[in-house]
Structure 1
Amino acid sequence: MKSLLSTVFRKEMRDHLRDHRSVWSAVGMTLLGPILFGVMFTVMASWLNKDKPLELPVLGRSHAPSLVAYLERSGATLTEPPADYEARIQAGKLDTVLIIPEDYGEDFAAGRTAKVHLVMDNSRNQARTTIRRVQQLLNGYSGLLGAQRLLARGVAPELASPLKVEEVDLSTPERLAASLLSIIPIFLVFAAFSGGMNVAIDAMAGERERGSLESLLLNPVRREALVVGKWLAAVVFAVAATTLCLVAFLLVMNRVPLQDLGVKVRLDPLAVLGLWAGVLPLALMASAGQMLLSTFARSFKEAQTYMQMLSLLPTLPGMVLVLSPVQSQTWMFAVPVLGQEMLVQELMRGEPLGPLPFVLGLVSCAALALGFLAWTARLLRDERIIFGRS
């Protein structure tokens, strides 16, 4: 049986490595997550880069010389806004414009609240950083004036702030990074499911559609050896895709300026090995489940339709964890997909994990994989499955 299993495995690997289009398609789907991650966080870091000069168009600078001087001392470059500044803001060509009304000086001299207008479009994410920086400067100037007015009247400025809240943040850099990088587990799980998908489909539905599965089963071969040999080929591709996805994420995280987002990622070699070992059991289960589903399909195209619906299921636990984080419990690590995504998040948070979560994940995925493989082998004894191509 061992020689037969090895023969089937080598045959499947040789066939699928020759299909360059299928291989590159799997690679492209695997690298999609790291590429999106790199582009998204690079753009976000450029938006939040506080070192770039702040250019602020101001209308009516002559009405508030002290405010203008404060903004310039704070590093803002003040310019004259164009006549069509509202249209330019809506079109995304300007971030914001500060308007100082003519009656600003009268209200200011009388000790009343002087109003200014900050024209913006809050629906544009790229403009929010500039808007927030301008708002911080205006709030700082307002606080400075308020303190000076109280001192001029012999009142301590502290009386206007009876309560001061000092935040004590107990989060570590790893926990902050894990909360921001929570999409990484989703893509790692997706790679484990998509890496061997084409191999599993072609090994069962593809050969069934071409009629080669009938010829293969006419030989004195054990169904179990045939199924396991094909499954191992799919597992190799799934493991390769997961490894490639993890390596790509590590390379991207080292190149993206995450420090501009206040994120510090610290993954030592042991943590990286834990991430890899934590996700790999999904390759066993996913490949077996995909082979089982492909056995029911009458054609390659029909099997692809099933797989497209199946590929949405692994993302659901990850989306739940992103939108509504839950406190991890030991039994959760035994739930396939959910356990792997929680394991990756815990490792990225720097939480101490013993071997139990890894063992639970491996045992549950391996048990399901064995069940799927046994079911597939039993289906290959059914003539309706083997000869039914219509």
Structure 2
Amino acid sequence: MKAKWRIVFLKEFRETMRDKRSLGLLLLFTLMYPVMLGVILNQQIKRATKPEREGIELAVIGAAQAPNLMVQLKQKNISVEQKGPMDEDAITQLLRSRKVVAVLRISDKFAENYQAMRPARVELWFDSAADNGARQRDIEEVLHAYNSSIASARLLAHGVSPATVAPLQLQRYDTGTTAARSAGLIGSILGFLFFPAFICGLSAAVDSTAGERERRSLEVLMSQPARTWELVTGKWLAAGALAVIGITLELFLAHAILSWLPLEEIGMSWRVTTFDLVMVCLASVPLSLFASAVQIAVAMNAKSFKEAQSMLSFVVMLPMIPGIAVSMLELKTALWMYAVPMLSNQTLLREIAKGEAIGALPFVLTFFSAMLPALAAVAFATWRMKSERYVLAV
């Protein structure tokens, strides 16, 4: 003979699975964020690699005045397109046409000032509204390098070492790994991967409590030879199972997308292994059960189905507050973070993405930080269902 809580669980789970419309919406919500994350990162990669794919087109007015500069520009894979004299309006129209990244206008007195060792004027025209920031910086780097080479040559011609005007030589060494750097950048959006825990089981939790009470089917269910805790446990596990399925699908889809994208093109990487992800999913099971337990407990205190939905629309936002607060305050990872539901899951995945060995304690704390409150919420819901005022909605 099956356990009575198991019979209730199967009954609620089958009823939920029959609602194709709700399942479609839940599936859409589960898949939407990982796909959106992949699209955003893919666009960043395309923008970062755009100069290499398309090259840099630079229009130069008065190129004959600075032949050495033109050679240095071409050595940096910058295509130089020589132009005749142009006024400001013509330059503006050329930039707005998006045919060139920038326009370099060299003064007619450039060669004269250059030979007289006076500052030779060059003008760099660009459109800040265009998406050419990276390519524009490449052009400016060539100009700065050309300027420095001329200054060094002139100092040597006067018997002065260029090191005289550069008393400090700064060398920078970055010991941060790409995994740690990317975890810091992606860490702010990792928290949303756990949001399905509070969404996927919401409909089942409300319908099996406030919904059944309005339809008067709860009275029939409670008249059966089953104890209150068995009824609540069955409903709780049915809603929790949907949340577990939703969060697992989203984590694995996000993992597949991040592993497939060439993140190294933007100085990032995703080093989370499949085994690490499985461990994170197991540690996140209590989060789904906690979310379903809270939703059932809150829905039982609502007088109607609509009131339960309204109350839970605010409740589902509360778990996001700790993660947002930690991100805004820029707090370093501490042990207490693993004792806060939802925040513990975010912190756990972020630290694993950094490629650091965190040990077993964070997994244990993450598991029980949500499991203990979940059991407390189920106990409260069991006590609440014993009240005749709740069953009769008075």
Q: TM-score w.r.t. structure 2 length? A: 0.89
Percent of residue pairs bearing the same amino acid type: 33
Task: Please say if residues 45 and 260 of structure 1, whose CA atoms lie closer than 8 Å, have aligned partners that are also in contact.
Answer: yes
SS of residue in 2 equivalent to 1:344: helix
Which letter maps to 2:63? Answer: R
Once residues 332 and 186 of structure 1 are traced to their aligned partners in structure 2, the CA distance between those partners, rounded to angstroms, is 13
Give the counterpart of 2:375 among 370, 373, 378: 370
Task: Please say if residues 209 and 298 of structure 1, whose CA atoms lie closer than 8 Å, have aligned partners that are also in contact.
Answer: no
SS of residue in 2 equivalent to 1:99: strand
Q: Does 1:247 align with 2:274?
A: no
1:109 aligned residue:
115
Once residues 132 and 276 of structure 1 are traced to their aligned partners in structure 2, the CA distance between those partners, rounded to angstroms, is 43
Task: Please say if residues 275 and 344 of structure 1, whose CA atoms lie closer than 8 Å, have aligned partners that are also in contact.
Answer: yes
1:344 Cα deviation from its structure 2 partner: 1.1
1:130 Cα deviation from its structure 2 partner: 1.6
Task: Please say if residues 55 and 78 of structure 1, whose CA atoms lie closer than 8 Å, have aligned partners that are also in contact.
Answer: yes
Select between 80-89 and 373-382 the one with higher mean Cα deviation. 80-89
Count how many residue pairs are aligned between Structure 1 and Structure 2.
388
1:26 Cα deviation from its structure 2 partner: 1.3
Once residues 310 and 345 of structure 1 are traced to their aligned partners in structure 2, the CA distance between those partners, rounded to angstroms, is 25
1:68 aligned residue:
70
- List alignment gaps of at least 5 residues for structure 1: none
Q: TM-score w.r.t. structure 1 length? A: 0.90
1:71 Cα deviation from its structure 2 partner: 1.0
Q: Does 1:97 align with 2:103?
A: yes
SS of residue in 2 equivalent to 1:118: strand
Give the counterpart of 2:203 among 198, 206, 212: 198
Say what the alpha-carbon RMSD is for the aligned residues. Answer: 2.5
Give the counterpart of 1:149 among 154, 157, 160: 154
- List alignment gaps of at least 5 residues for structure 2: none
Once residues 250 and 338 of structure 2 are traced to their aligned partners in structure 1, the CA distance between those partners, rounded to angstroms, is 22
Once residues 58 and 280 of structure 1 are traced to their aligned partners in structure 2, the CA distance between those partners, rounded to angstroms, is 62
Task: Please say if residues 5 and 225 of structure 1, whose CA atoms lie closer than 8 Å, have aligned partners that are also in contact.
Answer: yes
Task: Please say if residues 224 and 377 of structure 1, whose CA atoms lie closer than 8 Å, have aligned partners that are also in contact.
Answer: yes
1:279 aligned residue:
284
Task: Please say if residues 56 and 101 of structure 2, whose CA atoms lie closer than 8 Å, have aligned partners that are also in contact.
Answer: no
Once residues 106 and 202 of structure 1 are traced to their aligned partners in structure 2, the CA distance between those partners, rounded to angstroms, is 84
Which letter maps to 2:358? Answer: L
Which letter maps to 1:51? Answer: E
Which letter maps to 1:195? Answer: C
Task: Please say if residues 337 and 343 of structure 2, whose CA atoms lie closer than 8 Å, have aligned partners that are also in contact.
Answer: yes
1:63 Cα deviation from its structure 2 partner: 4.0
CA deviation string 1:236-284 (max 9, x = no partner): 1111111111111111112222111111222233322232233332112
SS of residue in 1 equivalent to 2:124: strand
2:57 aligned residue:
55
1:59 Cα deviation from its structure 2 partner: 3.7
1:202 Cα deviation from its structure 2 partner: 1.7
After the TM superposition, which residues 262-301 of structure 1 pair with which residues of structure 2 at under 5 Å, given as runs? 262-301=267-306
Task: Please say if residues 57 and 102 of structure 2, whose CA atoms lie closer than 8 Å, have aligned partners that are also in contact.
Answer: no
Which letter maps to 2:52? Answer: D
Give the counterpart of 1:260 among 254, 261, 265: 265
Q: 1:358 to 1:350 in 2, by over 3 A?
A: same
After the TM superposition, which residues 373-384 of structure 1 pair with which residues of structure 2 at under 5 Å, given as runs? 373-384=378-389
Select between 1-10 and 89-98 the one with higher mean Cα deviation. 89-98
Task: Please say if residues 243 and 276 of structure 1, whose CA atoms lie closer than 8 Å, have aligned partners that are also in contact.
Answer: yes
Q: 1:74 to 1:92 in 2, by over 3 A?
A: closer
SS of residue in 2 equivalent to 1:51: helix
Once residues 209 and 357 of structure 1 are traced to their aligned partners in structure 2, the CA distance between those partners, rounded to angstroms, is 43
CA deviation string 1:89-139 (max 9, x = no partner): 579776543333444344333323333333344466x32212222222222
Once residues 267 and 213 of structure 2 are traced to their aligned partners in structure 1, the CA distance between those partners, rounded to angstroms, is 54
SS of residue in 2 equivalent to 1:221: coil
Q: Does 1:139 align with 2:147?
A: no
1:339 Cα deviation from its structure 2 partner: 1.6
Q: 1:210 to 1:187 in 2, by over 3 A?
A: same
Q: Does 1:22 align with 2:37?
A: no
After the TM superposition, which residues 153-164 of structure 1 pair with which residues of structure 2 at under 5 Å, given as runs? 153-164=158-169
1:43 Cα deviation from its structure 2 partner: 0.7
1:357 aligned residue:
362
CA deviation string 1:3-58 (max 9, x = no partner): 21111101111111111111121121112221121111111111111522112233
Give the counterpart of 2:213 among 181, 189, 208: 208
Task: Please say if residues 62 and 108 of structure 2, whose CA atoms lie closer than 8 Å, have aligned partners that are also in contact.
Answer: yes
Q: Does 1:343 align with 2:348?
A: yes
1:85 Cα deviation from its structure 2 partner: 4.8
